[in-house]
Amino acid sequence: MRRTFLTAAVVLLATITASAQLRINDNNPKSKLYMAEMAITNLYVDSVDEGKLVEDAIRGMLEKLDPHSSYSTPAEVKSMTESLEGSFEGIGVQFNMMEDTLVVIQTISNGPSEKVGIIPGDRIVAVNDTAIAGVKMSKEEIMKRLRGPKGTKVNLKIVRLGIKDDLPFTVVRDKIPVYSLDASYIIRPRVGYIRIGNFGATTHEEFLKALGKLQEKGIDHLIIDLQDNGGGYLQAAVMVANELLNDGDMIVYTEGRAAPRKEYHADGGKSPYKGGLTILVNEFSASASEILAGAVQDHDRGTIVGRRSFGKGLVQRPIEFADGSMIRLTIAHYFTPSGRCIQKPYTKGGQKDYAKDIDNRLKHGELTSADSIHFADSLRFQTLRLHRTVYGGGGIMPDEFVPLDTTKYTKFHRQLAAKSVIINANLKYIDNNRKALKKKYPTFEEFNANYEVPKSLIDTVIAKGAEMDVKPTDDAELATTLPYLSLQLKALVARDLWDMNEYFQVMNETNDIVTKAIETIK
């Protein structure tokens, strides 16, 4: 075969007349692919980007497989890895863009920026003598300039309200933690709440820390919120499940054509929790989230509340290339302890139809009525202790179904959110009122009990929407929109004054799935 490759290469690189015909006499598929790429690169009438040509070929092959095998560029791999690995290296600020200017929303506690005196509300206008304000620089480019290896220095020029001159700061970059737990607090007397945003490298450690604090406060029931959790590392879900199940209980097993069966069992955990348990899921809870929910359901360890989960029962293996790009190739199915594969049906190469599944569920009434959800008898399984009927082949069906309230989110509200009207109005409001709000509400408890969104802020949102031709169809739609809009604005103010933990404390009080979970516990 090597001689064939060399011979073909010589032919391809030779001078070929317009009428010449090239034939490759090797039937090996890999030879065919290799020679096709070489022919296009060397003979095609116009110049081509060889790297992109190869990337397109890889994507083309993967698109004919399952919906979850994928190719990622080096930049995409870096972004994806940072969110799961639990840290990146930078200056340690949360920021947003307001009229082409970077505004600091929060500084990471004890992080590099906080240490040198940067505060919320500061505007970073230059990085290493390069202006980043008022020059229409992309958010990605700004982040690229702010991030860098740990220990390196970056010079910042900052504008601070009330200070006439620009302020110079030199920040030494450091590792900045990325948390996978969004919130953890006492949601009702003796009931703890933990929301897991994704399953990353530090999820288990974060979970144990949060659970320990809740147990110190005397909880006897725990709600784990996996709504909108798209998954992450299988091992991270296994480690969390290990703290909830009995020693020896199976958590999940995987098996594929070339991947032998591998079982994961609980071993007692580091800090096992034996109290009451409720898991929250919705149509966007996927992969590792479904591993945890499926294990809890199959062992009758707790109650699953919400809507049928996404249905991703495939395991991907990362295959890295020298340039930092990566293929995530599906190598196995995973199965819950009862033997269920919860992967929803798909057609190889049918990614477009697969992507429409959630929309189809809404059209068919599956998000609003449990009676609209049908499983084949062949997918029937039984839980391992109480022998309740559960189903595979399409996500985790909750024990307590919560219909989607389609009236809560009006078209007017969705358009305001899509065009960033709400977030930008909130950003300006916080920027102008941060000190006054912190003085009036020194604690979140005081804020949550007494703060009401001012009418002026609501009016600003509606007026800005109108400027962008986003208007309610009638007074009824406006009236329906206002309660949820006010709640969202209050939650955003809480987030910017404190953190995501406080954001969810506000939002959860009207979250139908959370409310149903609390009712079920009572």
Active site residues: 287, 312, 316
Helix, strand, coil percentages in the chain from 3-state DSSP, rounded to 5: 40, 20, 40
DSSP annotation string for 175-189:
EEE--SEEEEEEEET
> What is the CA 116 to chain-centroid distance, rounded?
31
CB neighbourhood size of 2 (10 A) = 6
Strand segments (E) across 161-249: 167-172, 174-177, 181-188, 191-196, 221-225
CA distance 86 to 307: 29
CA distance 451 to 185: 20
Nearest-10 Cα torsion for 500, 501, 505, 507:
20
Q: Classify residue 498 as exposed, middle or buried by CB count within 10 Å of its CB (0-12, 13-18, 19+).
A: middle
CA distance 144 to 140: 6
CA distance 48 to 271: 57
Give 462's DSSP letter: H
CB neighbourhood size of 191 (10 A) = 20
Q: What is the residue whose two structure tokens read 């329906």?
A: 480
CA distance 494 to 426: 11
Give the contacts of 56 (CB within 8 A, at least 6 positions apart): none
Give 246's DSSP letter: P
Q: Read off the tokens for 493.
A: 């103010």
CA distance 448 to 432: 20
Helix (H) or strand (E) holding 494, with range, is helix 475-497
Amino acid, res. 58? I
Greatest pairwise CA separation for the chain in angstroms:
84
Cβ–Cβ < 8 Å for 272, 324: no
> What is the CA 355 to chain-centroid distance, rounded?
16
